[in-house]
Amino acid sequence: MVINNTPRYNEIWDFVYNKLGFSPSCKYRGHSFNVPLPFKIDDNYSVYSIENMSNDQCDFLEDTIREIFINTTKVGRKIFALDWQHSSFLYDPRNISEQKSCRVNDERYTDGGYYAFFPAFYPDGDYYFFIEEKFEFGYLGHPWRQEIWIFGCDLMKEIEKVYQKLGWKKLR
């Protein structure tokens, strides 16, 4: 479900900017996130370089991360899928039909709506974020630094099992 211009939309972006310290930048130096407490307790966040992924690994990424999200998301909970300055979704990782781009009817637009693109797990030119609706875990993609930031113990454990198969290099 597209959540643009709703209270949930504002809630998740407030979390991204204020709690995760998101600071978008085209620069390669510095960090775009400042993962705060409680996520730093017990080193509950990791950073991976994705710059050396092969095409096959990129293809493998979609199914792998989708399966990990199913395994780490409590039944009945959803995930925010965010494309910075574009579309935002709230979806159930178990429901593949919710994980797709769609047309959104909106009278404020010339053609009566717009096309909302569901973000990919590989940040191919924009920041893509996937954050559990109760903020228990997150998968943050940085396009220019070619990095994935992970927070939340359960998600970190699952990523730790597969990151080498994905062609990722652990930075932190």
96-134 pLDDT, tens digit each: 888 888 888 888 888 888 888 888 899 988 889 999 999
pLDDT of amino acid 66: 95
* Domain presence at residue 2: no
Tell me which residue range forms the domain holding 142: 7-23+42-170
pLDDT band at residue 61 using 50, 70 and 90 as cut-offs? very high
Confidence of residue 95 (pLDDT cuts 50, 70, 90): very high
Q: Which residue has the higher pLDDT, 29 or 137?
A: 137
Say which amino acid occupies 129.
Answer: F
DSSP state of 168: -
Q: What is the arithmetic mean of pLDDT over 53-81?
A: 94
pLDDT, mean of residues 24-45: 57
Domain assignment of residue 127, yes or no: yes
Rounded Cα distance, 82 and 30, in Å: 22
Q: CA 138 to CA 152: how far, in whole Å? A: 7
Residue 1 lies in a domain: no
33 in a structural domain: no
- What's the total number of domains in the chain? 1
Domain-located, residue 36? no
Please give the pLDDT value at position 41.
41
CB–CB of 121/141 below 8 Å? yes
pLDDT cut 90: percent of the chain above it: 42
Query: For residue 172, what pLDDT band results from cuts at 50, 70 and 90?
Result: confident
Residue 131 falls inside a structural domain: yes
Q: How many CB atoms lie within 10 A of CB 46?
A: 19
Statement: the pTM of the whole predicted model exceeds 0.75: yes
Residue 29 placed within a domain: no
Q: Express as a percent the part of the chain with pLDDT over 70.
A: 89
- Is residue 152 in some structural domain? yes
